[in-house]
Amino acid sequence: MCTNGVNTQQFTQMLDMVDDHVALEYRWTHRLAHIAEDAGYEATSKKLHEAQALLADVRSLLDEAKDSFENEAMRTASDSSTVKLV
């Protein structure tokens, strides 16, 4: 369905794709943090864990953006509906 010139289903799928990508980066950052820690690179490990936490924040914001988009799209779709007596 298109609302305000935006294919809402495609937009939602694109948000999911971004979330999947960030989830992959989250896992790799976690893995690298532990590799650095095991090798004795404590400062590097700490920074990677901080980056991992920020990636978790990104995923949370993406979820909020998706929820907001779905709510706004539904509201816009219902506002634009008109009924005419024939």
pLDDT in tens, the chain (86 residues): 566 677 889 999 999 999 999 999 999 999 999 999 999 999 999 999 999 999 999 999 999 999 999 888 877 766 555 546 66
Question: Residue 58 burial (CB < 10 Å; 0-12/13-18/19+)?
Answer: middle
Angstrom distance (rounded) from CA 9 to CA 11: 5
pLDDT the model gives residue 38:
98
The reported pTM is 0.78
